[in-house]
Amino acid sequence: MDKDRIVGSAKDFAGKVEGAVGDATGDAKTEASGRAREAAGTVQNLYGQAKDAARSAGDAATSYAKDAYENSGETLRGSSEAVAQKVQDNPLGALLIAGGIGFALALLMTRSPRRPPPRWRYYS
């Protein structure tokens, strides 16, 4: 729990008490001061809640990232083993796929640059 939440709750309670005392005695100034303190306490309490929510979201994201980082090696190792097994099962298919990828890369690398379309100029 955040310090702002505790202080905000205390101000909110004190403001309610002060407002009630002002209402009971008929003192409008005390009642208004109590309502203002109550509002300030509520705002500070909400600010503390927002800080707590942001902190917990950050902690959850950090935990998720740490777990993903720790498990990434196992995932990579498992996927490379699966690819190796597929290549061993069907070497001709793997060779054709690798050749197709190489051909596509060669087409992309040797393509002539595109020229901008001609601009029509109308002369009067």
Tell me whether residue 52 is in a domain: yes
Out of 13-17, 73-77, 101-105, give the one with best mean pLDDT. Answer: 101-105
Tell me whether residue 123 is in a domain: no
* Amino acid 121: pLDDT: 66
CB 22 within 8 A of CB 32: yes
Please compute, for residue 99, the number of CA atoms within 13 A of its CA located in the half-sphere on the CB side. Answer: 6
* Amino acid 101: pLDDT: 93
Tell me whether residue 102 is in a domain: yes
Which regions of 2-55 does DSSP assign to beta strands (E)? none
Q: Which domain holds residue 98?
A: 3-110
Query: Helix or strand or coil: residue 8?
Result: helix
* Whole-number Å distance between alpha carbons of 85 and 77: 12
Tell me whether residue 66 is in a domain: yes
| Reported confidence tier of residue 34, pLDDT bands at 50, 70, 90 | confident
Q: How many domains does the chain divide into? A: 1
| Reported confidence tier of residue 21, pLDDT bands at 50, 70, 90 | confident
